[in-house]
Copies of this chain bind each other. A is one copy, B any other.
Amino acid sequence: VNDRARLTEIVGPANVLADDDMTAGYRQDWTGRFLGPSTVVVRPGTTDEAAAVIKACAETSTPVVPQGGNTGLVGGSVPLSGEVVLSLTRLNRIEPVDAAGGQVTADAGAAIAAVQHAAAQAGWAYGVDLASRDSATVGGTIATNAGGLRVLRYGDTRAQLVGIEAVLANGDIVTSLPALFRNNTGYHLPSLLCGSEGTLAVITKARLRLVPPAPHKSAALLRFATTDDAAAAAGQLRRGLASLAAVEFFLQAGLDLVCETFALAHPFAAATEGAYLLVEAASDRDPIEHLAAAVNALDGVADVAVATDSHTRAALWRYRELHTESINHVGPPHKLDVAVPVAALAELVARVPGVVHAIAPTAKTWLFGHAADGNVHINVTGLDPDDDRVDDAVFRLVADLGGSISAEHGIGTAKRRWLPLARTPAEIAAFRALKRAFDPAGILNPHVLLPDERR
């Protein structure tokens, strides 16, 4: 209560929420799987306010969960142990785009779609795009090092980060937002904070590089009879098509679900099984000719739909992008975002349903993802939220295949007990040393990323 009075002093009474109804949207994640108990939500309007909040919490050893658009999928931004929620959504300014330098400075709470829009207005593009673009924020995508649909072409969020402003665990502000494309002056804090899931500092602002817009785009939806052929095609396209911008994949069951949920026509009406690749190329000139040649060189293509205009392209993308929402209509899924070596992609896709079925015979498995990166979003519906036996079995399979238990969603609370599957003891020791160096009192997202230490 003392805490609350002090927080109210800092951000004003309208920006300290405590009523359960008012805080509900901050306490539960987007999938509905993770829900925290009653707590306080603080919404600073400036970096200085955010710093004052952290300082106040540090002085009373009050744990804090930083939160952006709350679109995370691993329970990393909800207060599962009653932490104070520090919502950054009021920090949502975007500075005028630096058109000469091709960069922009944006607040942590600005939505990705807003950054994309600002970039486009200035003749540039932002290299990161993801289905949750309207809600996901700059700060949240940095904290999780979001990947998304354009990783193949422009890299992950870390690769876009020129500079950062962040509040440290003691309330100090570190600021480095230079209008520079190259800057090698000391340890790269932006890269370290990127992917740290709010456990090392609270990101308040970022300087982002922009990319030249690719004026001409073409897309094709390919159906393969087997996942083997689809996976091989993804690798071949990545090497053979310099203008390749995305290679997404999904399966027949997911496509059927999307078409049913959103009343869409099937792309290939007669097809009742298959593995699908959505391929996009982007270039200075219409890449359709090269895309067509590359597709023709692939083995095992059963059906092709080509989109040259933006309307048809959007229609093809819808089959892929509506997967997440369609699956959520079935019920809160266990979301297992994993990556395997591209060569093991088909084996993973083949084995996962059996692994799930052996533990939960009535559960349903949905697979889609970013094929050229070996990134599969394994969604399992029909499981109890707290039953993690399927998660465990799938993660062990992934580790056996030389894969990662988190391709792009992060570890959050949902996966931290499996971190030792992904990292060696020496690495986890180095992580703990970093955590201690940045947050010795352990107030920043204390239950996220690192497993609890055995005593």
Residues of A within 8 A of B (CB): 98-102, 123-124, 144-145, 147, 151, 155-156, 158-159, 168, 172-176, 178-189, 191-192, 194-196, 200, 212-215, 235, 238-244, 282-285, 287, 290, 339-343, 370, 372-375, 402-411, 419, 422-424, 426-431, 433-434, 436-438, 449-450
Contacts and interface: CB of A to CB of B under 8 A. Distances in A.
Given A212-B242, A241-B284, 8 more contacts: A147-B182, A176-B427, A178-B341, A180-B339, A182-B370, A185-B404, A212-B238, A430-B438
Contacts of A374: 101, 180-182
Given A239-B99, A242-B282, A402 B179 contact: yes
A151 B181 contact: yes
Contacts of A406: 183-185
Nearest to A210: B239
Nearest to A440: B433
A242 B283 contact: yes
A375 B181 CA distance: 8
Contact of A192 (B102, B168, B188, B285): B188
B431 A186 contact: yes
A166 to B, nearest CB: 9
A182 B403 contact: no
B195 A192 contact: no
A244 to B, nearest CB: 7
Given A123-B239, A181-B151, A186-B419, A427 B341 contact: no
A281 to B, nearest CB: 8
The 4 nearest A-B residue pairs measured at CB? A191-B191, A437-B437, A181-B373, A185-B422
A339 B437 contact: no
Contacts of A179: 341, 343, 402
A195 B188 contact: yes
A352 to B, nearest CB: 17
Contacts of A410: 184
B196 A187 contact: yes
Given A188-B158, A426-B173, A437-B436, A183 B404 contact: yes
A194 B410 CA distance: 21
A297 to B, nearest CB: 13
B235 A101 contact: yes
Contact of A124 (B158, B187, B239, B436): B239
Given A195-B188, A410-B184, A176 B424 contact: yes
Contacts of A431: 186-187
A192 B183 CA distance: 14
Nearest to A155: B159
Count chain B CB atoms within 10 A of each CB in A101, A187, A411, A450 and give the residue with the most. A187
A407 B183 contact: yes
19 contacts: A98-B341, A102-B342, A145-B188, A174-B430, A179-B341, A179-B343, A180-B339, A180-B341, A183-B422, A184-B406, A185-B422, A185-B423, A186-B428, A189-B427, A212-B239, A212-B244, A213-B242, A214-B242, A283-B283
A194 to B, nearest CB: 7
A174 B242 contact: no
Nearest to A422: B185
Nearest to A199: B187
Contacts of A155: 155, 159
Contacts of A290: 284-285
A239 B174 CA distance: 31
Contacts of A239: 99, 102, 123-124, 212
Nearest to A407: B182
Contacts of A430: 168, 174, 187, 189, 438
A54 to B, nearest CB: 13
A239 B214 CA distance: 10
A110 to B, nearest CB: 22
